[in-house]
Amino acid sequence: MSQNGQADKIRGTARTMVILAWVSGLLFATWLFQQILDDRYNPNANLDMHISAEGVREVVLQRNVQGHYVADGAINGRVVTFLLDTGATDVALPEGLAQRLGLPRLQRAISQTANGAVPVWRTRLERVQLGSIELRNVRATIVPSLGDDAAVLLGMSFLKHLEMVQRDGTLTLRQQG
């Protein structure tokens, strides 16, 4: 191989390495930016929780940048993202999630939402967990009009069993033992 051929090969390899470095850098920056956005939307991925000697279970939530309380939890053992909604009568979940959880459609109903009346299905959740707080046999609604990527609305059928104290951008939830 001539010297020009070797130089061309080296330049081609160098060009490929520079392109790979740029692509890797862009992928890393995209991943990092997505992590920042996720943390701003859900600052409660790692919940601050306590269980007192008297058996009182406590979870402390941080408000997100939009002023909402969003936290990871579980329904029937499957991890979900909750949006606490004191204006929602029941726990409300998207139809796709309800199907993945194998939830029964017990009764058809109509719910009044901010966007008007929507058809829903009543169901029961065997177990709902938010950190160390756990409730069983929780009333819920399956809302077909919610997008599959929507957070589960953690409504009053869950929250009414807890003491809630809001102060300085935090919400403390307590469940008596």
Residue 53 has phi, psi (to 5 degrees) of -60, -30
pLDDT digits (tens, 9 = 90+) for 70-88: 999 999 999 999 999 988 9
Q: Are 128 and 135 in contact (CB under 8 A)?
A: yes
Residue 110 scores a pLDDT above 80: yes
pLDDT category at 6 given cuts 50, 70, 90 is confident
pLDDT digits (tens, 9 = 90+) for 117-159: 899 999 999 999 999 999 999 999 999 988 888 899 999 999 9
Question: Which of 90, 87, 171 is closest to 131 using CA atoms?
Answer: 171
| Block residue for tokens 């790692």 | 46
Task: Give the pLDDT of residue 26.
Answer: 65
What's the pTM? 0.75
Q: Are 142 and 105 in contact (CB under 8 A)?
A: yes
Mapping DSSP onto H, E and C, the string for the chain reads CCHHHHHHHHHHHHHHHHHHHHHHHHHHHHHHHHHHHHHHHCCECCCEEEECCCCCEEEEEECCCCCCCEEEEEECCEEEEEEECCCCCCEEEEHHHHHHHCCCCCEEEEEEECCEEEEEEEEEEEEEEECCEEEEEEEEEEECCCCCCCCEEECHHHHCCCEEEEECCEEEEEECC
Q: Poorest-confidence range of 25-39, 106-120, 133-147, 150-164?
A: 25-39
